[in-house]
Structure 1
Amino acid sequence: MNKKNVVSIEDRIPKLKQARKKKANRRLIFYLSIFFFLLAIIVYLQSPLSHIKTISLNGNVFLTDDEALEISGLSTKTNIWTISTGEIEEAFQKKPVVESVKVKRKLPWTVEISIAEYKRVGYIREKDRYYPIIENGTVLTNHAGKTISGDAPLILDFTEEAYLNRMTEELSKLPKGILNMISEVYWAPEEKNKNKIKLYMNDGLIVSSTVRDFAEKMKIYPSIAAQLEPGSKGIVHIGVGAYFEDFNDVQPPKEEDAEEE
């Protein structure tokens, strides 16, 4: 046997001890790393470092920023990890102007609240005040103004809430372009048809129609108006069919009728 290939047990023991020591040191470093990592998390959670620093609000128009913050219950003293996004969303959904809401954490210190409100479809007038009405039929009594912005029509003479709600639902289905063409909407019920309405358009025309399926019927209005001579005055009847009644075509009374009058 070649003596050069023989390693005595005395020579191997120091190397084994050194290997075991290195392994133990690595294990100690690993456990210490975990300990300090967990300690850092605990310190972070218990310190102002985990508090919300920015609350981002998007989409609120009828709700003011202060109102939205009050509903959320959040502040810069709130721990970002203790908030319940579901509970905050539920609190917003109780407000009649809110259609939907989404609350998100954006680490490290931001909470984003995206609000989708029901859109304004018109205004109602009481005395000298104008109140917005939104697509679910809610009248926003705390948003009264002395004027209207012109972004939605004035809704008048709807004395029965059921018909007002149906009208606002139909207006909400209209494309924005057509809604902006309408200046005023009047409820004009007849004995045999309580759904009758009359509209005054921004282009000077009048529309006679019904509440029932109004949004679907009104889609043809732009094409009808485009075919008329500029400056035409009359009534566009939109029902089962559609036709234009020109005021200039109305026959004047006969002389004998005028004398009798």
Structure 2
Amino acid sequence: MTEKDVQESEEMNSGEDQEKEELVEEVAETKVAAPKENSDSDQIQKEDQEPSEFLLKWQERHEAFLAGQKEHEKPIEEEKTKSPKNSLFKKKKTAKMDPISVDVKEESHALSKETPKTALPKGLIWKVIPIISTALSFVIICLYFITPIGKMKNIQIEGNTHVESAEIVKDSLIQEEDYVLTTLLNKSGHERNIKHSNTWVKDAKMTYTFPNKFTISIQEYKQIGYVKRGEKYYSVLSSGEIADTETPHDQLPPVYTTIYLTDPELVKDLVLQLATVNQVVLSDIRDIHLTPSKVTNDLLTLTMMNGNKILIPLSDIDFKLPYYEKIAPQLEVVSVIDMEVGIFSYASQ
């Protein structure tokens, strides 16, 4: 309520008091001015029972005054409710607090006091360190394999004697743009490519050394001899295959076996039979000719380094030729050892 409203209410109260005093004075004057003696008792009783005209007017005025005062106080109360800032007496606002939240905070604070923070045990730290280091190493390795640096490969060949290293790399089908990771994953495929591409290669094994080194170990077939075709020599391998590449005459070894067979199937059968014979006997053979007879179509004549000749069927080499080791020391002259039917020897003419 403003000061103006307070002043107006005080003026209204003072006016009301003044009116009440005037009404009291008028009532007193009427009582004094009234005749003390009334001749008629009935008239006195009538006046006592009926209110005077003055009282009726005063009552009407008083009720009108009260109604006006109520109408004046009503907007003041509405103004108080709408704008509490204008009131003279302001109530202090008290912050409402949730009892549940207060309890939770108090409990958490109490728990924090009761249970102090403890450091991680050293045993747990030592257990976590290997896991983290392994994960980081794995990430670094993956990044290495997928970056352009992962295409740089160092390929080394070992174990090869008759095949060039560049040819082996070419046969492996390893490309320069291949990643180290893809080359490693396709390792078995590259090994098969090398074995199937070259008749010399018996086996190929590729190993990997971090970060980019590949080592291809070659195992070659043994060389049994040479097939002579015209003036050219081709190596005959222990697999029974004839090498595709020609061996120049100046690269021939000092001592070697020459096979004069034109049929590749007979050459293969011969090699498979000779594979079971002692290497000492094989190294003593100078040349092999096909000399069929009326009885044996696959009869071979083996000329030894010391001039001895052996007549032996191709199909019987694996079990008859080993006897030559026992017979050769007993021969005093250059002889023919006939093994076509039985085994006997005679001096050559």
- Classify the TM-score, shorter chain: 0.7 to 0.9
1:236 partnered with 2:337: yes
Q: What is the CA distance between 1:139 and its match in structure 2?
A: 2.1
1:46 corresponds in structure 2 to: 146
1:18 corresponds in structure 2 to: 117
Letter in 1 for 2:155: I
Q: What is the CA distance between 1:224 and its match in structure 2?
A: 0.9
Q: What is the CA distance between 1:106 and its match in structure 2?
A: 3.1
**Quick one: distance in 1 between partners of 2:225 and 2:134?**
61
Q: Which residues in structure 2 correspond to 1:42-121 (within 5 Å)?
A: 42-47=142-147, 50=150, 53-74=153-174, 78-83=178-183, 84-95=186-197, 96-121=199-224
The structure where helix makes up a greater share of residues is 2
**After the TM superposition, which of the residue ranges 52-61 and 117-126 deviates more from structure 2?**
52-61
**Quick one: distance in 1 between partners of 2:305 and 2:320?**
18
Q: What is the CA distance between 1:99 and its match in structure 2?
A: 2.4
Bigger-Rg structure (1/2):
2
Q: Which runs of 5+ in 2 are unaligned?
A: 1-107
Query: Does the 8 Å contact 2:299/2:340 carry over to 1?
Result: no
Query: Does the 8 Å contact 2:150/2:212 carry over to 1?
Result: yes
Q: Describe the shift of the 1:239–1:16 C-alpha distance in structure 2 as closer, same or farther (beyond 3 A).
A: farther
Q: What is the CA distance between 1:133 and its match in structure 2?
A: 1.6
Query: Does the 8 Å contact 1:122/1:168 carry over to 2?
Result: no
**After the TM superposition, which of the residue ranges 78-87 and 62-71 deviates more from structure 2?**
78-87
Q: What is the CA distance between 1:53 and its match in structure 2?
A: 4.8
Q: From 230, 236, 259, give the equivalent of 1:155.
A: 259
1:186 partnered with 2:286: no
Q: What is the CA distance between 1:64 and its match in structure 2?
A: 1.1
Q: Describe the shift of the 1:160–1:43 C-alpha distance in structure 2 as closer, same or farther (beyond 3 A).
A: closer
> 1:59-91, CA deviations, whole angstroms, 9 ceiling, x for partnerless residues?
323321011111223467654332211111221
Q: Which residues in structure 2 correspond to 1:170-249 (within 5 Å)?
A: 170-229=273-332, 232-247=333-348
1:169 corresponds in structure 2 to: 272
Query: Does the 8 Å contact 1:52/1:111 carry over to 2?
Result: no
Q: Describe the shift of the 1:91–1:141 C-alpha distance in structure 2 as closer, same or farther (beyond 3 A).
A: closer
Q: What is the CA distance between 1:240 and its match in structure 2?
A: 4.6
**Quick one: distance in 2 between partners of 1:126 and 1:38?**
58
TM-score if structure 1 supplies the norm length? 0.74
Q: What is the CA distance between 1:38 and its match in structure 2?
A: 4.7
Q: Percent identity?
A: 19
Letter in 1 for 2:334: K
1:143 partnered with 2:143: no
Q: Which runs of 5+ in 1 are unaligned?
A: 1-8, 251-261
Query: Does the 8 Å contact 2:320/2:339 carry over to 1?
Result: yes
**Quick one: distance in 1 between partners of 2:147 and 2:215?**
22
Letter in 1 for 2:112: I
Q: Describe the shift of the 1:108–1:225 C-alpha distance in structure 2 as closer, same or farther (beyond 3 A).
A: same
Q: Describe the shift of the 1:16–1:123 C-alpha distance in structure 2 as closer, same or farther (beyond 3 A).
A: same
1:254 corresponds in structure 2 to: none
RMSD over aligned CA atoms reads 3.3
Query: Does the 8 Å contact 2:292/2:300 carry over to 1?
Result: yes
Secondary structure, in 3 states, of the residue corresponding to 2:216?
strand
Q: Describe the shift of the 1:66–1:37 C-alpha distance in structure 2 as closer, same or farther (beyond 3 A).
A: closer
Count of matched residue positions in the alignment of Structure 1 and Structure 2:
234
